[in-house]
Amino acid sequence: MGMVSEFKEFAMKGNLVDMAVGFVMGAAFGAVVKSFIDDIFMPAISPIMGGIDLGSMKYVMKPAEFDASGAIIEGTETAIRYGQFINGVLSFLIVALVMFMIIKGMNKAKKAEEEAPAAPPVNEVLLAEIRDLLKK
């Protein structure tokens, strides 16, 4: 039973729970950013790029094969899908920028929370005044 209680204590520590919540939030945020890139950003810049769909850009190394009815045989095309890679890089950059802004805001809030140094006790102030008077 010692190992189970030890694991329970480890799992219930605040840092581990916070990290788990962070992973879940990060995964959800990543899905939102991917949808933003694929469904909003890329279609919006497509007219600027001359109607090119960046996500469908690829370099075909081996073309797809067709069966007798003219349907593509699944898995026969070999292609480097660099458009999808560019979409992934854009998603990463947006997530990194947002995370940077969040961390920057948190650090700014922490600095604001730091307390000013406490005033010295009254007896120390009095002793300093006496010392200064004795010097004169």
pLDDT (0 to 100) of residue 15: 73
Q: Which of 44, 62, 61 is nearest to 53 (CA)?
A: 44
Tokens standing for residue 91: 């998603």
pLDDT band at residue 1 under the 50/70/90 scheme: low
pLDDT digits over 52-109, tens only?
A: 887 788 898 888 888 888 787 777 788 899 988 988 888 888 888 888 898 888 888 8
Residue 81 near residue 61, CB atoms below 8 Å: no
Q: Return the pLDDT at 116.
A: 62
Q: How many domains does the chain have?
A: 1
DSSP 13: S
Whole-number Å distance between alpha carbons of 42 and 36:
8
Residue 63 sits in a domain of what CATH number?
1.10.1200.120
**pLDDT digit string (tens) for 8-41?**
777 777 677 778 888 888 889 888 888 888 888 8
pTM over 0.75: no
Range of the domain at 63: 2-135
**Residue environment code for 15-34, b if the CB has 16+ CB neighbours within 10 A, otherwise e:** eeeeeeeeeeeeeeeeeebb
